[in-house]
Amino acid sequence: MLTALVAGATLTALITPSAAEADPFAPAAPQAADALTADAFTADALAADAPTPTVDEKFDGSSLPTGWTAVEGTWKVQDGRLVGTSTSSAQQSRITFGTPLTDFRIESRLRFESALDAARWVAFGLDLAPTGAVPWSIATLRNGSTATNGLEFAQRTAANTWNVTDTAAAPLQVGIGKEVAVAVEVRGTRATWYVDGREALRTTMVNRSTTGVQALIVNGATVSFDDLRVTPLAKESFIRKTGDPLRVWAHRGGSSAAPENTAASDEVARRARAEWIENDVQPTKDGVPVILHDTSVDRTTDGTGAIRNLTLAEVATMDAGSWFAPAFTGQRVPTLGQQLDGLKARGGNLLLEVKGVHTRDSVARIVTDIRSRNMSSRVFVQSFEPQHLRWMRELAPELPLGLLRSTLDPDPVAIAKDLELSAYNPSDAAFQTRPGIAAELHAAGVAINVWTVDDATRWNALEKAGVDGIITNRPAELYGWNAAFLQRTKPSATVLSPAAGQRIDRAQLLRIAVGNNSAEPVTITLDGRPIANGAAVDTTELTAGEHVIKAVIGETATESKFEIVATPTGLANLILTSGASPATVSTLTTLLGQRQYAVLAAYANTPGATGLTPVRRQQIVTEARALATL
């Protein structure tokens, strides 16, 4: 658990990037507060129109697609697939493509053709310069995918070093020669890995830029790709999906472990994996938006006076950390611009409360600070004051809005519709007076986030009541609670036998075995037909080729595929269990022993091969012909 006992000098170094780590994408020049920037909202505009892919490649041609840039390694289109090769563990072969997008899904069917060892990997580039230069943000899949780091979210820093932020084992072994469907969904700095349709890993730590495109990267391997698609995602709903954990909103940053509303508390919240960091904003006497909760600086700094009676120059000299603990001496009251710059450089999304009384002009100044840094896709605005939200909607319609409430409105749904809210955010005490409001708001397309809750017992009750997120002083603890929640509330089945991708001949014993991590019943089908868990399957009754086992628990489905293949042993079993006449069996087995597969197929297809049923005759002919071609 994160605590306040972090050395002040160490934390200061963490929140003050060195020259090598600094954000290489400088802020754009300030614009008028009510002027939209086209580049900042490309993804939103595309997604609003329709989920039309920006990249949709089947690699049917003979050369690299137009606009794709091979940066390093060997890249070619061959036999309907894109093939990338890296010849050493030190070489990150890269090819870039696509356009800058904020929210998108990238997916493909890929296959390791060869690899130097199990640790070699392939990655989706989630945010790379078109030239392939560092820094990068990537999602990685190893050849040895079931290792504890078989999946990763990682960053290649501006200093050309690795920063691996998240790891997990993939739900299946990939290995050489096995094609697997993979996808990553990206929402700003958040992303989710999917392998074979199953969610496998989440992160809140994707470093983003305004100019980054997508890429494929191969390390120490040859990997082929097909059906590669990049699709902008529709505008995000903040309503929690069934089975998803509570959204973590860090109240005033990680305020239980660092001085609230400072760069230090933001860093604690970031490391706690909060999806959103909540800060309060108020103007100084000279109109500069600064991050402060109280109307005065008395409680949280070594200064005195109302914030609106102090200039920025006066506030900038105040110590905003020593009141919390000596380790934080020297922390300052950040301006909104400084807080946004820190989030942009180091990661994180901002839940910004417009605190106290504001004019339209002071709200406009807030919008200018957000837009001038191209941070609109990473800011959510909330306030107790409906008028602040009306101005915000007028000036920055792209920003999601939330209404804070200490007591419930007579008709929360009506005011949510009137203000065009993304979320209605009551206190926990207010919510407890009418828990059914969650369902009513959801029916209207509005999320509900409850504040300020630091107790796991209440988290459990609020999750059961359908709340979407919690604003908490303890983001690290809520993140850990969510991890446990995912383990206990997502029942899933695992096909244990046959193994995924297993090649089975007609002589092998096949028994269906499905593991279940819950007490819920599992429904199993083989090629769409119901079958009991533990049932034996006669392989002589299956057609040659691929077969699908599907296990369903509630809304969660797991698929696993295996293949019936021709082998001499399997063909022998077909012959010996066929019920054919002794003479026919003798002739067939003699030809099999001599490996005269073509002759065997021809003989089995004649009237002289007596006693064979039509089905068994066809099986023997088909498998003998298959063996003859090997």
Give the pLDDT mean for 560-566: 94
The percentage of residues in the chain with a pLDDT greater than 70, rounded to a whole number, is 92
| pLDDT for the residue numbered 47 | 37
> Which DSSP category does 498 fall into?
S
| pLDDT for the residue numbered 243 | 80
Q: How confident is the model at residue 59 (pLDDT cuts 50, 70, 90)?
A: very high
| pLDDT for the residue numbered 39 | 34
How does 306-320 read in b/e, with b if 16+ C-beta sit within 10 Å? ebeebebebbbebbb
**Cα angle 125-130-135, degrees, rounded to a multiple of 5:** 60
Give the pLDDT mean for 53-73: 96
Sign of CA dihedral 578, 582, 588, 593: positive
Q: How confident is the model at residue 30 (pLDDT cuts 50, 70, 90)?
A: very low
Q: How confident is the model at residue 198 (pLDDT cuts 50, 70, 90)?
A: confident
| pLDDT for the residue numbered 345 | 84
This prediction's pTM: 0.71
- Helix (H), strand (E) at residue 483: helix 475-489
Q: Is residue 239 a contact partner of residue 442, using CB atoms and an 8 Å limit? A: yes
Class of domain 493-564: mainly beta
Count other C-beta atoms under 10 Å from residue 18's C-beta: 9
Count other C-beta atoms under 10 Å from residue 470's C-beta: 27
Q: Assign residue 252 a region: left if phi > 0, alpha if psi is -120 to 50, beta otherwise?
A: left
**Cα angle 436-438-440, degrees, rounded to a multiple of 5:** 80
Q: How confident is the model at residue 50 (pLDDT cuts 50, 70, 90)?
A: low
Q: How confident is the model at residue 228 (pLDDT cuts 50, 70, 90)?
A: very high
The pLDDT tens digits for 355-394 are 999 999 999 999 999 999 999 989 999 999 999 999 999 9
- Does the pLDDT of residue 614 top 70, yes or no? yes
> Which DSSP category does 456 fall into?
H
The pLDDT tens digits for 306-352 are 999 999 999 999 999 999 999 999 999 999 999 999 998 888 899 99
Q: How confident is the model at residue 53 (pLDDT cuts 50, 70, 90)?
A: very high
Q: CA-CA distance, 473 to 253, in Å (whole number)?
A: 7
User: Cα–Cα distances in Å, from 614 out to 241, 506, 580, 609, 621?
Assistant: 52, 17, 11, 11, 11
The pLDDT tens digits for 131-144 are 999 999 999 999 99
Residues 6 or more apart in contact with residue 235 via CB below 8 angstroms: 44, 47, 48
| pLDDT for the residue numbered 509 | 85
| Mode of pairing for the β-strands spanning 289-291 and 162-168 | unpaired
| pLDDT for the residue numbered 496 | 87
- Does the pLDDT of residue 518 top 90, yes or no? no
Residues 6 or more apart in contact with residue 25 via CB below 8 angstroms: 209, 210, 211, 344
Q: Which two tokens stand for residue 482?
A: 């969510």
- Does the pLDDT of residue 443 top 70, yes or no? yes
* 46: phi then psi, degrees, rounded to nearest 5: -65, -45
The pLDDT tens digits for 455-468 are 999 999 999 999 99
- Does the pLDDT of residue 520 top 90, yes or no? no
- Does the pLDDT of residue 26 top 70, yes or no? no
Burial class (CB in 10 A: 0-12, 13-18, 19+), 213: buried
**What is the number of residues in the chain?**
630
- Helix (H), strand (E) at residue 85: strand 81-85
> Which DSSP category does 471 fall into?
E
> Which DSSP category does 327 fall into?
G
- Does the pLDDT of residue 46 top 70, yes or no? no
Q: Is residue 109 a contact partner of residue 224, using CB atoms and an 8 Å limit? A: no
Helix/strand/coil percentages in the chain, nearest 5:
25, 30, 45
Q: What does the DSSP assignment read for 93-157?
A: EEEEES---SEEEEEEEEEEEEESSTT-EEEEEEEE-TT-PSPEEEEEEESSTTSTTSEEEEEE-
| pLDDT for the residue numbered 494 | 86
| Mean of all residue pLDDT scores within the chain | 90
| Mode of pairing for the β-strands spanning 469-472 and 92-97 | unpaired
Q: Which of 387, 394, 379 is nearest to 341 (CA)?
A: 379
Q: Which of 401, 392, 458, 456 is nearest to 429 (CA)?
A: 458
- Does the pLDDT of residue 16 top 70, yes or no? no
| pLDDT for the residue numbered 11 | 41
Assigned architecture for domain 39-232: Sandwich (2.60)
| pLDDT for the residue numbered 57 | 97
Residues 6 or more apart in contact with residue 281 via CB below 8 angstroms: 289, 290, 291, 292, 336, 352, 353, 354, 355, 366
**Cα angle 126-130-133, degrees, rounded to a multiple of 5:** 85
Q: How confident is the model at residue 483 (pLDDT cuts 50, 70, 90)?
A: confident
Count other C-beta atoms under 10 Å from residue 344's C-beta: 22
**Cα angle 401-403-405, degrees, rounded to a multiple of 5:** 165
Q: CA-CA distance, 482 to 473, in Å (whole number)?
A: 15
- Does the pLDDT of residue 280 top 90, yes or no? yes
Q: Three-state DSSP class for 248?
A: strand
Class of domain 246-288+335-487: alpha beta
| pLDDT for the residue numbered 590 | 96
Q: Is residue 466 a contact partner of residue 439, using CB atoms and an 8 Å limit? A: yes
Return the bridge partners of 524, or none.
551
Task: Name the amino acid, one letter, at 626.
Answer: A
The pLDDT tens digits for 588-598 are 999 999 999 99
| pLDDT for the residue numbered 21 | 34
| pLDDT for the residue numbered 333 | 98
> Which DSSP category does 607 fall into?
T
- Does the pLDDT of residue 147 top 90, yes or no? yes
Give the pLDDT mean for 513-539: 90
Active site residues: 251, 293
Q: Which two tokens stand for residue 541?
A: 């009754």
| Mode of pairing for the β-strands spanning 469-472 and 493-497 | unpaired
As a whole number of angstroms, the longest Cα–Cα distance in the chain is 107
Q: CA-CA distance, 493 to 383, in Å (whole number)?
A: 44
Q: How confident is the model at residue 490 (pLDDT cuts 50, 70, 90)?
A: low
What is the strand order of the sheet 529-530 is part of?
503-504, 556-564, 545-553, 523-526, 529-530
What is the strand order of the sheet 121-128 is part of?
69-72, 92-97, 213-219, 121-128, 136-142, 151-156, 162-168
Q: Which two tokens stand for residue 41?
A: 């909202």
Q: Is residue 82 a contact partner of residue 122, using CB atoms and an 8 Å limit? A: no
Q: CA-CA distance, 147 to 571, in Å (whole number)?
A: 37
Q: Which of 43, 55, 51 is nearest to 227 (CA)?
A: 55
Q: Which of 338, 342, 326 is nearest to 258 (CA)?
A: 326
Q: Rounding to the nearest 10 degrees, give the CA dihedral for residues 387, 240, 374, 343.
A: 100
Q: How confident is the model at residue 34 (pLDDT cuts 50, 70, 90)?
A: very low
Report the Cα 154 to chain-centroid distance in Å. 13
| pLDDT for the residue numbered 622 | 95
